[in-house]
Structure 1
Amino acid sequence: MKCKKLVAVLLSCLFLVVMAGCGNSGEKPAADGAKKAGGKKIGVAMPTQSSQRWIQDGKNMKEKLEKLGYTVDLQYAEDDVQAQVSQLENMITGGANCLVVAAIDSNALVNVLAQAKSNNIPVIAYDRLLMDTDSVSYYATFDNKGVGVAIGKYIETKMGLKEGKGPYNIEFFAGSPDDNNAHFLNAGVFEVLKPYLDKGQLVCVSGQTKFDTICTLRWSQEVAQKRMEDILSGYYSTGKNLDIVVSPFDGISYGVAAALEGAGYKVGQKWPLITGQDAELMASKNIMSGKQSMTIFKDTRVLADKCVKMVQAVLEGGQPEINDTTSYNNKKKMVPSYLCTPVPVDKENIQKELIDSGYYKKTDLQ
């Protein structure tokens, strides 16, 4: 009889243990703390911290994703292609549920992105299109051709080209050949300015107008400065004045300006119109001082917000907001995209666009 009672007590205890386990829904703890309640792990791969805009992109992305409860693995590869490949591999093996990738050289990422696809990990291209892969789901960017068009139209307006003014001497710089954005931007520039080259209102003294000649690997300031120095010594040493420099990026503009100063050009004294892109703090200060004429403002807060909403929709079974399905063919698929609008900024609207919007404080530009 005592044995029967003992068995009954043991069975009762076992039942309580089982029920306690059921009260936990039978769920296993999230691996290495990655999956919080209502959140998952997002790998964010950025190209470099040498440019202010990428630092801000990463910061904005991380803050917005974490606010939604996601765990974020933010990595910078410092323009080292193999480092970015390794970072993405580690994100995949580390349990990432989604990847956001701003590529250094997208052609080098084809295999690692295929690994992501085989692991059912969605990939969102961030500001730089991922080429030659069907592993990318969506693309968040600015209207890259629109950036080039805006640069071209700024020159057209400021130099009075529509009114027939000229001729002006002009030199062209383009972005990195391994960045698809550079090709779109350059196409936009020449769409506006080629007619004026054909008419002779714009004269490229060096004759360097082809993309393969004017491109700047990794958008490098140093590479741009050396090329500008060579152009000045080779084509402008006999008294010709350079009137316009088309620069697709603020970093390239710094290199151009340094070369001009080295050649004896002075701000305010036949200093050329110099364009740019990204509204970096130094570029904004240069606009205030006259060293740079304009830049294209790409509000990273807006871009990060659109990309975060893409991530959220993909992971929660929703439909991301898309406004372009025909522009971005990566040679494997037409990538559904959201294009943010770029804004040209110069002395006339820098207060409104950069300070009043809260992007910079007025004291930042002093």
Structure 2
Amino acid sequence: MRVRKFGTAAVVTATALVLAACGGGGAGSSTDTSAPDGGSSSDGGEAPAAEDITVGVAMPTQTSERWIADGDAVKAGFEGEGYSVDLQFANDDIPTQSQQVDQMITSGVDLLVIAAIDGTALSGQLANAASAGIPVISYDRLIRDTPNLDFYVTFDNFAVGVQQGTSLLVGLGVLNADGSEADATGPFNIELFAGSLDDNNAGFFFDGAMSVLQPYIDSGVLVVPSGQTSIDQVATLRWQQEVAQKRMEDLLTSTYSGADKVDGVLSPYDGISRGIITALQNAGYGTTIADGLPIVSGQDAEIASVKLIADGVQFATIFKDTRKLAEQAVISGNEILAGEEPEANNTTDYDNGEFVVPSFLLESDVVYADNIESLLVDSGYWTADEVASGQSD
């Protein structure tokens, strides 16, 4: 692992951040998790003060409240450790993010934390970081096709997909919320949506969901009338709401003429879900599930979608507590800056095309209308007023 040789005195041990309800400290066993270029550790020497250490944080966009929250939480966490932070958002533009990372390297940051727009587009920048001795943490989205990556912090993305598929089956009445078989036998017409193909997570989400849905498709309980079942057919570029809405409109026009109706839609992200729901409502499917709107899944517990769930419009979302992800990034960053191997709980699943990247995976939860308060309000993620208004304060 490439690390600048800071003594451990330079690094304050990761403590409870000024982030409400942060859990998820580093845990789990670690094996030989060094990248292919070999490992190095601190050899002591004069250690810079914490305020002389700068962390570069590159986030993909400010068009999603999720990524704004992530950027702010990571910045606050590292600043809470006494470091300076250079936080940049790239507005979903790959050249902009590449330029931002280049600038961080040129300015001499001591650690890079990157949530990539396109996981294959930063190999040149990471080669430059390696040459400068700057370690890199891949944040939530795996950076691919480069050996110059030190660690990956994320959620268990395959499990997230399983939860998405399960929530769709629960909404259709095929499964109970505990995963046991329910009474409904179908057949139910469903359509499938996936995320952006340039995001490595999209494949994990889709594969996880299909591991749950495919047996019911094979048995005839679920039917995909469009025939579009591969990720290449159902992907949504840049996870954009308007792209998803247009595709749903096209599916309704091409496939659901006459008496055929959609019963459910697999959606991997709340913004995509809202685009799908808009298309369905505009096509006369009703305004809520109670009056005919199909079951639609989601992800990220965005406040607009949480209100839709509370109002009986969207059926479910997946809550990934990004406060915990930010905290884990800080914990792992502290370990790297101290010249230590960051603690991993997965060293087998996240092959970036060059090597299996040591990773720390966090757990997620399914949000339904009846557990919004316990999962989101009681934890301080959203307030009751924010849920009621559908807007963050």
Same fold, TM exceeding 0.5?
yes
Deviation string, structure 1 residues 178-228 (Cα, Å, up to 9, x no partner) = 111000110001101101001110010111111100000100111100000
Match of 1:197 among 204, 217, 225: 217
- Post-superposition offset of 1:321: 2.2
Larger radius of gyration: 1
Deviation string, structure 1 residues 134-189 (Cα, Å, up to 9, x no partner) = 11100000011011011112233343433461110100000000111000110001
* RMSD (Å), alpha carbons: 1.1
Higher alpha-carbon deviation: 163-172 or 337-346: 163-172
- In structure 1, the partner of 2:355 is 333
Question: Equivalent residue of 1:171, what SS?
Answer: strand
C-alpha distance in 2, partners of 1:36/1:229? 57
* Contact 2:162-2:212 within 8 A present in 1 as well: yes
Q: Aligned runs of 1:133-282 on 2, under 5 Å?
A: 133-161=146-174, 162-163=181-182, 165-266=185-286, 267=288, 268-282=290-304
**1:303 to 2:325 alignment:** yes
* Contact 1:159-1:165 within 8 A present in 2 as well: no
Match of 1:87 among 78, 100, 103: 100
- In structure 2, the partner of 1:27 is none
- In structure 2, the partner of 1:60 is 73
Structure 1: gaps (5+ residues): 1-34
* Contact 1:101-1:123 within 8 A present in 2 as well: yes
Q: Aligned runs of 1:284-363 on 2, under 5 Å?
A: 284-363=306-385
- Post-superposition offset of 1:262: 1.3
Identity over aligned residues, as a percent? 49
- In structure 2, the partner of 1:116 is 129
C-alpha distance in 2, partners of 1:50/1:183? 22
- In structure 2, the partner of 1:31 is none
Amino acid of the structure 2 residue aligned with 1:75: Q
- Post-superposition offset of 1:39: 4.6
C-alpha distance in 2, partners of 1:56/1:235? 38
Deviation string, structure 1 residues 104-139 (Cα, Å, up to 9, x no partner) = 012111111110011110000000000000111000
Question: Equivalent residue of 2:247, what SS?
Answer: helix
Question: Equivalent residue of 2:370, what SS?
Answer: coil
- Post-superposition offset of 1:36: 5.1
Question: Equivalent residue of 1:106, what SS?
Answer: coil
Amino acid of the structure 1 residue aligned with 2:187: P
C-alpha distance in 1, partners of 2:192/2:98? 32
Deviation string, structure 1 residues 225-279 (Cα, Å, up to 9, x no partner) = 0000000111112121211100000010010011111111112212111000000
Q: Which 4+ runs in 1 deviate beyond 3 A?
A: 35-39
Structure 2: gaps (5+ residues): 1-47, 175-180, 389-393
- Post-superposition offset of 1:38: 5.4
Q: Report how many aligned residue pairs link the two structures.
A: 332
The structure with the largest helix share of the pair is: 1
Question: Equivalent residue of 1:349, what SS?
Answer: helix
